[in-house]
A and B are shown apart, each in its own frame.
Chain A
């Protein structure tokens, strides 16, 4: 795996490939303030970019990106940039399945760095899908814990976006426990005590 640091695109923050980081924001405008520079920086440096957003925001997302990305349409047609909505990713078939989601990531991230020649893949996921009333959404924290196992497999950065106006405190606490790094404002806070996936999952399964 490459060990070269890469610019996050926000406040001069650099991350290492394999980083799994969560960020908190307020509302759609707050999300765009994080997501747009993050994706724009990835496209600028030739990285594969995957965005997972609410279905209603997909086209809007592209329009918001357009002023910040040269030749956006080329990025889309060349598949350097994918903007996915929940219905075709997290909530495919109307339910959430960790296995299928990891399979999906394998297909796109793995292929990007393995077959398509991208040096790094950066993904950003708006996590509000977990607030939908679909089977399996309760597995959010377990999924987040397992992501820590998936992240080191490829040169990739995984950014999970949480809307503070919609998620409750208990989810936030669990999310914080499952992310080694947290982005708050323009600052990254490392969590030396984040709960390793197996420990978290063990407690999670026993309701501890």
Chain B
């Protein structure tokens, strides 16, 4: 049987039950509403349909006064009611009130488990009936429950929202930490590996997703990793580049430069590289900056490491070169050669390169010689000694090619090359060095003005220098030139030099004057003095030959003496032979 077909109660009872049913449904609606003000409004405005009274207003600590009639528009009336509520309610209960102009008034408390949430202020011609009071009590109780539920739900939602926000923040932190770990692990792996700058660029692109450029301090591209490499690679004007470097040094963090994020790696004052993420949008995840800064640290470490290795290798090469030239420390030479992975067993020859750049920059000159020697596969043992650059050459190229490639590097400077004889074993290197020095000395002092001269091409000078005992040669030289040498020593004249050049020039006056940069009359005067002092007849063929041989012997002995002085000199100190640092490759 359906409820509608059940015997129906009497009219009053039915009306009471219908109203109670309405209150319960209203309660469901209030609970469904979820808005405290709407709940209060719904309950308050339902009063006239449940009881013969009117609503004067609602009052709650949370929402103050609302739905008030004109009577309660007065602040004094409201204040009076609040005082009465405090008095009659004690802890917040309800009861009858005294309200000016109203025969009857009462406060219906809106309760929850936590206490009284507010009151409905009612008025009428007389007290409401018990049935009406019951309905109003049910209404306010359901209102209180709905308010309490709404408050709980609001607090729950706030807690959930807070928890969700905390979880989201935590998730972001975890995500950031995980990504930081990836950045850290990736770059640390590169730092610990033997991968060079290419490895750093590749790792940084992997963790950021942006193309990476590593440039030198002037803006020249050293390494690029990623798509979109510009060609030709753009280079800022020097003034702009310097401004950027100053800004980077001042800010010590990534700086935006057009569509790039840029940092500078400067492990030492004279070593510098610029690291750039390219094609970067205006707004990026801050992990990108973290990765860039980490990458900069790794790059600085790598540069310092490469620099240290280069310096050690240079020092070892220089020491090896010194020992091979001096021929003194066989064990040391072998151990250093092994450390460098250098094959000492190849044939060598010593090559001296004398010259300078336009600005007389010794370091630049050494770097140029080293770079060109490497390019031509001449050798990698290059050092400075005795004011010249020494190459321990393991190949025999066309030495004119070495000089031809060097000259543009010198920017208008000069360059001469002296090549010692070949040595099949590295123990013979000192001999080759002595020969190269002899060539150098002859280049300086004789008509051997050719800028590239090899010991093997010296001719009679080579025979003279190969004599085992120089005493007989010196006696012969003294017998022919003794008086002239003494005169030159006494008067600081150049009679022997003049005679040597005159004979080298085949007795031609014009050629000799040009070679000596003197006038014809001066030459004639000097030749007459030579005849007078020596008593030799320069027109006699035998005398002329002996004099020519004697002047060659004089030049050879002088050159050998100079070479021996260098070979036997104390090894160069750091001031002379300190290797300038090579730029990292």
Contacts and interface: CB of A to CB of B under 8 A. Distances in A.
Interface string A20-62: 0000101000000000000000000000000000000000000
A168 B18 contact: no
B4 A176 contact: no
B324 interface: no
Interface centre among B4, B18, B26, B41 (most CB of A within 10 A): B18
Contacts of A193: 9, 14, 17-18, 20-21
Contact of A173 (B3, B4, B11, B19): B19
Contacts of B41: 168-169
Interface stretch (B43-51, B285-293, B521-529): B43-51
Interface string A165-205: 10011111110110010101100011111110001000100
B18 A194 contact: yes
A174 B49 contact: yes
Contacts of B19: 173, 177
Nearest to B34: A26
B488 to A, nearest CB: 119
Contacts of B578: none
Interface in B96-137: none
Nearest to A170: B49
Contacts of B9: 193
Contacts, number: 80
Interface string B15-43: 10111111101101100110000100111
Given A164-B33, A165-B38, A173 B22 contact: yes
B6 interface: yes
A172 B14 CA distance: 18
A171 B22 CA distance: 11
Given A176-B26, A180-B4, A169 B18 contact: no
Contacts of A184: 25, 28-29, 32
Contacts of A169: 26, 41-47, 49
Contacts of B50: 173
B18 A195 contact: yes
Contacts of B42: 164, 168-169, 172
B132 to A, nearest CB: 12
Interface in B494-543: none
Interface centre among A171, A174, A176, A195 (most CB of B within 10 A): A176
Contact of A195 (B6, B15, B32): B15
Contacts of A170: 45-49
A24 B14 CA distance: 24
B536 to A, nearest CB: 128
Main SS class of interface, B: helix
A101 B25 CA distance: 28
Contacts of B14: 193, 195, 199
B25 A189 contact: yes
A190 to B, nearest CB: 6
A176 B22 contact: yes
A178 to B, nearest CB: 9
Interface in A145-173: 164-165, 168-173
B29 A172 contact: yes
Contacts of B43: 169
Given A164-B33, A169-B45, A169-B46, A177 B18 contact: yes
A3 to B, nearest CB: 13
Interface residues of B, number: 31
Nearest to A203: B15
A130 B41 CA distance: 19
A192 B33 contact: no
A170 B38 CA distance: 14
B4 A177 contact: no
A35 to B, nearest CB: 18
Contacts of B25: 176, 182, 184, 189, 191
A192 B32 contact: no
B46 A172 contact: yes
Nearest to B24: A189
A180 B47 CA distance: 22
A182 B26 CA distance: 11
Nearest to A189: B25
Contacts of A171: 45, 49
Interface string A92-103: 000000000000
B21 A191 contact: yes
Nearest to B3: A192
A47 B48 CA distance: 40
B29 A164 contact: yes
A142 B48 CA distance: 17
A173 B3 CA distance: 20
B38 A176 contact: no
Contacts of A195: 14-15, 18
A26 B32 CA distance: 10
Contacts of B21: 176, 191-194
Nearest to B48: A170
Contact of A191 (B18, B26, B29, B32): B18
A169 B135 CA distance: 14
B52 to A, nearest CB: 9
Nearest to B17: A193
Interface centre among A24, A173, A189, A194 (most CB of B within 10 A): A173
A189 B28 CA distance: 11
A153 B9 CA distance: 26
Contacts of B22: 172-173, 176-177
Contacts of B26: 169, 172-173, 176
A6 to B, nearest CB: 18
Contacts of A165: 38
A179 to B, nearest CB: 10
B6 A185 contact: no
B46 A173 contact: yes
Contacts of B11: 199
A164 B6 contact: no
A149 B17 CA distance: 21
Contacts of A191: 18, 21, 25
Nearest to A207: B52
A201 to B, nearest CB: 13
B72 to A, nearest CB: 18
A9 to B, nearest CB: 20
A183 to B, nearest CB: 11
A174 B21 CA distance: 11
Nearest to A187: B28
B32 A173 contact: no
Contacts of A177: 18-19, 22
Contacts of A24: 29
10 contacts: A169-B47, A171-B45, A176-B22, A176-B26, A184-B25, A184-B28, A189-B25, A191-B18, A192-B4, A199-B14
Given A193-B20, A194-B21, A195-B14, 5 more contacts: A24-B29, A170-B47, A177-B19, A190-B3, A193-B21
Interface of B: 3-4, 6, 9, 11, 14-15, 17-23, 25-26, 28-29, 32-33, 38, 41-50
Interface pairs A-B: 7 shortest CB-CB: A169-B46, A192-B3, A168-B45, A169-B45, A173-B49, A176-B22, A170-B49
